[in-house]
Amino acid sequence: MMLRVAIIGGYGNFGGYVARALAPDPGIALVICGRDLRKASTFADGLNAANPAIGRVVDIGGDPATMLGDIGPDLVINMVGPYHTQSYAVAEAAIAAGADYCDIADAREFVCGIGALDEAAKTAGVTVLAGASSVPALTAAFLDEAAKAMQVRHVYYGISGAEQANRGAGTVAAVTSYVGQRFTRLKDGAMRPVTGWSGLHAVRYPELGRRWFAHGNVPDLGLFPDRYPTLRSHAFYAGHEINVLHFGTWISGKLVRIGLLPRLDRYAGLLVRFAALFNWLGKGRSGFHMVIEGEGTDGTPMTRRHWIIARQGHGPIIPCIPVILIARMMAEGRVFAPGARPCLDIITLDAYRAEFAGLDITAIDE
């Protein structure tokens, strides 16, 4: 049976990659959705998909329930950010249409709160998965593997994005939404407040050299303390490839915190244009690092270090991988338990990393 997949934002930077990755699958029929029918149809026609792709209008700010009802999808993939300003209207529309749903949300409240739709999803017999992205899907996969060999006590990790990575206003709004804002993270066994983009420090990467980082807010910070009961400290960090942008954001965060600047996410479009002026300083290379500390079954201290180096602007492909794998699994007949929940226990680390083949991405384990 053909899986009819509606990709909302399907002709954008992230959605376009997902569409191109799924187009050759003979078990999938794509519906490219967005606010502009001409763009959606033109993109769909250019896919040369195994099954003819079509374009349709779906405006998440309008009436997505009616629009999706007219399409009749089996799976809805929401690729339209930023998610921190969205309601669950798209997921609710998918439920009303009797379709499964997933997204690449990295907004903490959005992903952690998706359980509010659990009863409705179970009644409709559909699966709703939020956060099918680098965080928390990939980060949890790393920790799940570590937890097989140790009691995890401390985990620290970060993402340093390349500046030429076709970042749109939605992506920039998501990152800047927590700059200078307060949120909590696990420290010494208790949830404690921290300010976004504080905690300035450098990490030396293989190949990339020194990259600068500061505190970021992601769904993991709310999900992992319960998921890994032995965890004592947990932090996520974000950073820019280009130092001047990183330090500029750090200074801006301080000004936001003391009230001299408003929230930065309202200026996302302007910040995208400003950051583009510095693209010539970058090399299109992104990095991810994770340090996991704990004890083995005999009490011996253990440390695992993981690195991911992405070149040629391939870093933004990494958060797209979970939704691609979910669609393929469903096309092959995989059925996930009905209900609404964060995307955990769905994508294994081996499956995730197998998707790096054919990309200029290197994974290193120490």
Start and end residues for every CATH 3.30.360.10 domain found in the chain: 135-315
CATH annotation of 135-315:
3.30.360.10
Q: What is the pLDDT of residues 137-165, one digit of tens each?
A: 999 999 999 999 999 999 999 999 876 55
Neighbours of 328 (CB within 10 A): 17
Q: What is the pLDDT of residues 335-352, one digit of tens each?
A: 999 999 999 999 999 999
3-133+320-347 CATH, one of 3.40.50.300, 3.40.50.11740, 3.40.50.720, 3.40.50.150: 3.40.50.720
Start and end residues for every CATH 3.40.50.720 domain found in the chain: 3-133+320-347
At 62 the pLDDT is 87
Calculate the average pLDDT of the chain. Answer: 94
Helix (H, G, I), strand (E, B) or coil at 254: helix
Q: What is the pLDDT of residues 20-74, one digit of tens each?
A: 999 999 999 999 999 999 999 999 999 989 999 999 999 998 889 898 999 999 9
At 164 the pLDDT is 55
Whole-angstrom distance, CA of residue 230 vs CA of residue 325: 30
CB contact at 8 A, 147 and 295: no
Residue from 313, 322, 304, 341 nearest 219 by CA: 341
| Helix, strand, coil content of the chain in percent (nearest 5) | 35, 30, 35
Task: Tell me how long the chain is.
Answer: 366
pTM for this structure?
Answer: 0.94
Q: Following DSSP, what letter does each residue of 123-169 receive, concatenated?
A: HHT-EEEE--SIIIIIHHHHHHHHHTTSEEEEEEEEEEE-TTS---H
